[in-house]
Amino acid sequence: MGKAIDVLSEGIYFTKVIYVISDRYEEIAKKIELEIPRGITGIYAKGMYTDEEKMLLLCVASRNEVGAIRKIVNRIDSNAFLIISNAREVFGEGFK
């Protein structure tokens, strides 16, 4: 029922944006690219609280791929920081 409501309110091609912060970013990115497959963008970031430089992974995926990506991230690094948000419009390869 919830998925039907999502489709009605968000549309059929509604996508998600997934942000991952992990020290094991290279392994996570490679596994997502192989298993899903989805492209990943690495963005250099700095934690303002820790003053540490980190790599932030950015992945845009379909609603159906989010669960598989979460499993990959958790399997590789259960301490990873993961943010999943909605994307209203996505244009480019793999998306309408």
CATH match of 12-87 with 3.30.70.120: yes
Name the token pair of 75.
Answer: 């399997």
CB 91 within 8 A of CB 22: no
Q: Within a 13 Å sphere around the CA of 46, how many CA atoms are in the beta-carbon half?
A: 2
Which of these ranges, 36-40, 44-48, 91-95, has the smallest mean pLDDT? 91-95
As a whole-number percent, the residues of the chain with pLDDT over 70 amount to 85
If one compares 89 and 42, the residue with the highest pLDDT of the two is 42
List the chain domain ranges: 12-87
pLDDT tens for each residue of 3-25? 666 655 556 667 999 999 999 99
The whole-number pLDDT of residue 8 equals 55
In one-letter notation, the amino acid at residue 57 is: L
pTM of the model: 0.82
Q: Does residue 59 register a pLDDT over 80?
A: yes
**CB under 8 Å to 56, separation ≥6 — which residues?**
19, 20, 21, 42, 43, 44, 45
